[in-house]
């Protein structure tokens, strides 16, 4: 066995080609660095077990979160981001696979067998019978007969234990541009995958921020309805007091009770909406255990926007990754087209094979080695139009990427314009709603004073109360819409 291994190694060293490859090792691209910042082993995530008891499904934790904390959590735990990172890692592996074609392939084969040949047994038996017949007609010395039998047994052994080893080397030294085209296509696809990962990141951040604003809006509506209920309860008490004093009728009490019931109904709806918005944000944050989240940030405008509309559009054109992604996809399709044409060109391979053979039960014969080497030229001159069809598919993909580039360009402009307009309008809405809220508060105060003094009607108090509630809702909605418009504008520029 040791002699066989030594023979294989000797044959491999002798057979290694000394001529230069069409693309030297210095030209081979280095392994692509992972854009995810993670090793392949760290990307393997175990599937969490499904809950099997009601207690595991019950929400037991409450976590107040600021918007910045929610963003940090979603960047760490969101499954969509994990999927995009895995897609990028897969594209990196495709690039490494394409680059591997620049290197030679080496394979080893070792076989061991025990052979008891029936044919050789028959040959030895026939030869022995011939010797017996020969001895009956001619006098043959016994030593000669024994020597002849030994020679025949050596030439046609009944038992044979061959140990065979073989090493094969194959190297594509000229591919008519097929290998470089495939590498280029894989690299451009990797670039598009990384850009798409950034797009997913921006979308996840936008969804998280809007979900946080939805929760803030639900919190604000719940607080407004709670305040409306308290105000309606005070109105009912005032009406009942007026009835007892004989300055109002039962009709005023009924009106106040109807408004109180309506306020409580709106409060129940607001509570339901708040629960839904809490679960929506928690789903994006992907907590390990069921957790109730609350918004810790106050409801107020978050920042301003200084550039004008035209500057914002130009900035979006320069920063949106979707445009660069379509260009990368077009370049990948062009490389695939080149690869399709190159597949019909000549392929030059250098090959070599080394072999070592030893019979383990024959100490005389020993170890024998051999090899062959050569050059193989393969030219797929006609493939029935398959390569042309692949090239046409790649051309269609390139044209599709170009058309999508134009569509994305127009979509970006529309998104910036609509978000910019919405931001300008909501700024004015906040100012108007703030002034209306101050007026509604003063109007309700005066209406209640007039009613308690007996110079005002109950309907004035009820109307002023409704106006105040609506003014609070309008201001809350204006602030939330402003923050959403600002987020949408930043998303349109790709700067979340």
CA distances, 247 to each of 123, 251, 309 (Å): 135, 12, 61
Query: What CA–CA distance (Å, rounded) separates 247 from 223?
Result: 33
| Phi and psi angles of residue 49, each rounded to the nearest 5 degrees, phi first | -70, 145
Q: From the CB of residue 398, how many other CB atoms can be counted at a distance below 10 Å?
A: 19
Query: What CA–CA distance (Å, rounded) separates 459 from 264?
Result: 19
Put simply, whether the predicted model's pTM sits higher than 0.85 gets the answer no
Q: How many CA atoms lie within 13 A of 337 on its CB side?
A: 14
Query: What CA–CA distance (Å, rounded) separates 269 from 267?
Result: 5
CA distances, 71 to each of 37, 207, 209, 274, 285 (Å): 19, 10, 8, 20, 9
* Inter-residue contact 247 to 454 (CB < 8 Å): yes
What is the structure's pLDDT at 30? Answer: 40
* Inter-residue contact 213 to 483 (CB < 8 Å): yes
Which of 440, 422, 430, 423 is CA-nearest to residue 477? 430
H or E stretch covering 349: strand 346-359
CA distances, 328 to each of 97, 307, 331 (Å): 19, 29, 5
Query: What CA–CA distance (Å, rounded) separates 259 from 466?
Result: 9
What are the 10-residue block averages of pLDDT along the chain, 496 residues in total? 45 39 38 41 62 81 92 93 94 95 93 71 64 61 60 58 88 93 95 95 95 94 89 85 79 87 93 94 90 92 92 94 94 94 93 86 74 92 90 96 96 96 94 94 88 77 86 93 95 92
Sign of the dihedral defined by the CA atoms of residues 282, 285, 288, 291, in that order: negative
Burial class (CB in 10 A: 0-12, 13-18, 19+), 52: exposed
Q: Give the domain 62-110+174-349+383-493 fold.
A: Outer membrane efflux proteins (OEP) (1.20.1600)
Burial class (CB in 10 A: 0-12, 13-18, 19+), 62: exposed
Q: CB-based contacts of 322: which residues, under 8 Å, 6+ apart?
A: 195, 199, 408, 412
CA distances, 56 to each of 2, 61, 373 (Å): 62, 12, 67
Query: What CA–CA distance (Å, rounded) separates 12 from 101?
Result: 20
What is the structure's pLDDT at 330? Answer: 95
CA distances, 102 to each of 173, 188, 340 (Å): 8, 18, 18
The residue extents of the domains of the chain are 62-110+174-349+383-493
The angle formed by the CA atoms of residues 389, 393 and 398, to the nearest 5 degrees, is 145
What's the token pair of residue 277?
A: 């918005």
Q: From the CB of residue 224, how many other CB atoms can be counted at a distance below 10 Å?
A: 22
Residue for token digits 């109002």? 248
> SS3 helix, strand, coil % of the chain, rounded to 5?
65, 10, 20
Query: What CA–CA distance (Å, rounded) separates 194 from 187?
Result: 11
What is the structure's pLDDT at 6? Answer: 46
């Amino acid at each position: 066995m040791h002699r066989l291994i030594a023979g294989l190694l000797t044959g491999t060293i002798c057979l290694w080609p000394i001529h230069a490859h069409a693309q030297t090792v210095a030209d081979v691209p280095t392994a692509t660095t992972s854009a995810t910042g993670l090793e392949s082993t760290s990307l393997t995530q175990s599937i969490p077990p499904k809950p099997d008891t009601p207690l595991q499904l019950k929400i037991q934790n409450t976590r107040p979160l600021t918007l910045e904390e929610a963003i940090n959590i979603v960047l760490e735990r969101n499954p969509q981001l994990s999927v995009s990172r895995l897609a990028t890692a897969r594209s990196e592996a495709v690039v490494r696979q394409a680059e591997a074609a620049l290197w030679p392939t080496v394979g080893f084969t070792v076989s061991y067998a025990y052979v008891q040949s029936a044919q050789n047994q028959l040959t030895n038996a026939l030869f022995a019978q011939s010797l017996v017949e020969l001895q009956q007609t001619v006098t043959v010395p016994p030593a000669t007969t024994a020597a002849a039998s030994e020679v025949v047994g050596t030439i046609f052994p009944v038992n044979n234990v061959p140990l065979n080893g073989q090493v094969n080397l194959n190297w594509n030294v000229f591919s008519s541009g097929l290998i470089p085209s495939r590498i280029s296509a894989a690299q451009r696809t990797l670039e598009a995958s990384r850009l798409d990962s950034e797009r997913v990141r921006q979308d996840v951040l936008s969804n998280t921020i809007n979900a946080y604003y939805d929760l803030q809006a639900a919190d604000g509506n719940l607080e407004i309805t709670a305040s409306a209920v308290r105000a309606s309860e005070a109105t009912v008490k005032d009406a009942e007091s007026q009835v007892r004093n004989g300055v109002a009728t039962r009709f005023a009490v009924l009106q106040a009770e109807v408004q109180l019931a309506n306020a409580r109904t709106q409060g129940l709806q607001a509570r339901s909406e708040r629960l839904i918005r809490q679960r929506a944000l928690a789903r994006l944050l992907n907590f390990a255990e069921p957790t109730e989240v609350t918004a810790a940030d106050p409801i107020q405008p978050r920042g301003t926007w200084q550039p004008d509309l035209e500057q914002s559009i130009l900035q979006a054109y320069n920063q949106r990754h979707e445009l660069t992604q379509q260009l990368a996809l077009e370049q990948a399709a062009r490389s695939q087209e080149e690869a399709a044409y190159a597949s019909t060109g000549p392929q030059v391979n250098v090959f070599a094979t080394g072999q070592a053979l030893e019979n383990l039960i024959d100490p005389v014969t020993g170890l024998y080695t051999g090899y062959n080497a050569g050059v193989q030229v393969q030219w797929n001159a006609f493939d029935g139009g398959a390569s042309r069809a692949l090239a046409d598919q790649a051309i269609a993909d390139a044209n599709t990427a170009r058309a999508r580039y134009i569509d994305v360009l127009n979509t970006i402009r529309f998104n910036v314009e609509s978000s910019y307009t919405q931001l300008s309008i909501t700024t004015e809405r906040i100012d108007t709603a703030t002034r209306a809220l101050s007026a509604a508060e003063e109007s309700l105060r005066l209406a209640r004073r007039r009613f308690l003094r007996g110079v005002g009607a109950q309907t004035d108090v009820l109307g002023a109360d409704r106006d105040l509630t609506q003014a609070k809702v309008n201001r809350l909605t204006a602030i939330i819409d402003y923050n959403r418009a600002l987020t949408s504008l930043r998303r349109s520029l790709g700067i979340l």
